[in-house]
Chain A
Amino acid sequence: MELVLEQLQGIPTIYLIQLVFWLLAGVISFIFSLGNARIWTSISMGFFLILVSQFYLLNKLFYTPTVATFTYITGTVAIMLITHGFLEYYVFCRTFEITGRKQTVYLSTMLLLLLSWVFLSINPEPSMFTVRNVKMVENAIWVFLTLMNLEIIRKIYFSIRDSAIAKAFICFGVVFVLIFLWKGSELYLQVFQWDRLWGNIAFQLDLDELEFDHAIKLDDSEDYWRRISFARQVYDYAGMLAAMAVSGTFAFLYRLLK
Chain B
Amino acid sequence: MFQLPKGNPLFENLAVTKLKLTDVVTKLANGSFSGYASFTFPGATGILVFEAGKLITTFYKTTQGQPLSDFEAMTALAEQMANSGTGTMDVYRLSKDLTMCVNSLLQGEVLYRSQELVLIDIKNLLERIKNERMNGCLRIYTDEKSAMIFYKEGNPLGFFHDGSQDIDSSPGESHQLAQDPKAKLDLYTSVSADELMAHDLLDVINVAKIWDAAVARKQAELERMNRELAEKDRMLSLNLLNDLENQIRNVYVEYVGTVGRGIIDKELTTAGGNTCLQDPERSEQFVAALEKAAKLLINVKKITEMKEKINALLTQARA
Q: Residues of A with Cβ closer than 8 Å to B?
A: 36-37, 39-40, 89, 92-93, 95-98, 159-166, 255-258
Contact = CB atoms under 8 A, between A and B. Distances in A.
B266 interface: yes
B260 to A, nearest CB: 8
Given A36-B295, A39-B296, A40-B296, A95 B266 contact: yes
A163 B267 contact: no
A256 B296 contact: no
B266 A160 contact: no
- Secondary structure at the B interface, as helix, strand, loop or mixed, is helix
Contacts of B258: 162
A95 B270 CA distance: 12
B299 A97 contact: no
Given A95-B266, A96-B267, A97-B266, A163 B293 contact: no
Given A160-B297, A163-B298, 7 more contacts: A96-B266, A160-B257, A160-B259, A161-B257, A165-B298, A256-B298, A257-B298
Interface of B: 256-259, 262-263, 265-267, 292-293, 295-300, 302
Interface centre among B259, B265, B298, B300 (most CB of A within 10 A): B259
Contacts of A164: 257, 297-299, 302
B296 A165 contact: yes
Contact of B300 (A92, A97, A166, A257): A257
A163 B297 contact: yes
29 contacts: A36-B295, A37-B296, A39-B296, A40-B296, A89-B296, A92-B296, A95-B266, A96-B262, A96-B263, A96-B265, A96-B266, A96-B267, A98-B292, A98-B293, A98-B296, A159-B259, A160-B259, A160-B297, A162-B257, A163-B297, A164-B298, A164-B299, A165-B297, A166-B257, A256-B298, A256-B299, A257-B298, A257-B300, A258-B300
Contacts of A162: 257-259
Nearest to A166: B257
B296 to A, nearest CB: 5
Contacts of B259: 93, 159-160, 162-163
A77 B263 CA distance: 31
Contacts of B296: 37, 39-40, 89, 92, 98, 165
A37 B296 CA distance: 6
A256 B300 CA distance: 9
B71 to A, nearest CB: 68
Contacts of A95: 266
Nearest to B258: A162
A159 B292 CA distance: 18
Contacts of A160: 257, 259, 297
B241 to A, nearest CB: 21
A95 B266 CA distance: 8
Contacts of B263: 96
Interface centre among A40, A164, A256 (most CB of B within 10 A): A164
A161 B257 CA distance: 8
Of all A-B residue pairs in the complex, the 6 with the closest CB atoms, nearest first, are A163-B257, A96-B266, A162-B257, A37-B295, A96-B263, A160-B259
